[in-house]
Amino acid sequence: MVDGFLIIDKPAGCTSHDIVNRVRRILGTKKVGHTGTLDPFATGVLPIAVGEGTKAIPFLDEGIKEYQAVLRLGLATDTLDFTGTSLHEADYSMVTETGLRTAMEALIGDIEQIPPMYSAVKQGGQPLYKLARRGLEVERTARPVTIRRFELVAFDPPVARVLVCCSRGTYVRTLADDLGRNLGCGACLTELRRTVSGPFRLADALTVEQLEALVAAGQLSSHLLSPLAMLAHLTRIALEQDGARLVRNGQVPYGCRAPGLAEGECCCLTGDDGTLLAVARQQQGQLVLQRGFVTS
């Protein structure tokens, strides 16, 4: 049984769920999931959880994401990217590199974004993209996001290559559209490549073809990331044998405490050999089990 996380370098032209299905076939298991959905045209880091790794997904810290993106000035579309229908084209010749950098800097920090209509955000129980495909546009509530870095890498009008470091929930498509509005000429996204998603890095990613070759050669373990390693941001509490046995039976050992753990904060309970046994949450001064992990 394979347990843990893989980082797939998602290619363009397929959905995140398509990748999950391919990994299921390669590994011969149904227990596969992903975090951080990428649009079909986007590429890069797609974290894939396998086996017991799927249980760790809710506790991951993917608060920081990084992207390499390409923007096209002078064009606005209904999807905010090149896959959509053109809404209008405008002259971009007045945009200088200095003016572009100034407009980008104005979007750095804590800002609010209105989710695009072509997104999986639900309103009234319906994903927005389903409403958009029916020609409907509804009012959406702005959401707070944080843009940590928004840097110009290269500018060859009308194309701008940029680097974005942002909080979870940020739509880079919306960032491009907002930038275009501020510049007065419009802009849309033409390329998007995710390089970082929390603890997952592009440098550690595999293509689906590389994954297939590793499995065939029996060398998958060298690229498998353990659930415990991906929960490194959580406090760890090591238990002795008796305590570990209780946790495996779904109980928190009497007197087990996590000093300094804030209300609602989670921690990892491990065996004395470092094996991940469970994730527990601090509730009213006590630890409550949230998810147990099967260990051999």
Q: Can you tell me the distance from the alpha carbon of 169 to that of 97, in angstroms, rounded to the nearest whole number?
A: 28
Beta strands in the chain (DSSP E): 4-10, 32-34, 43-50, 64-73, 75-77, 86-89, 109-113, 122-123, 126-127, 143-156, 159-167, 187-197, 200-201, 235-239, 266-271, 276-283, 286-292
Q: Output the six-digit token pair for 239.
A: 């238990």
Q: Under 8 Å CB-to-CB from 43, ≥6 apart: which residues?
A: 9, 10, 11, 12, 192, 193, 194
**Is 156 a residue of the active site?**
no
Q: Under 8 Å CB-to-CB from 227, ≥6 apart: which residues?
A: 3, 4, 5, 52, 53, 55, 56, 276, 293
**Strand 43-50 and strand 187-197: pairing?**
parallel
From the candidates 39, 81, 177, 178, give the one annotated as an active-site residue. Answer: 39
Catalytic (active-site) positions: 39
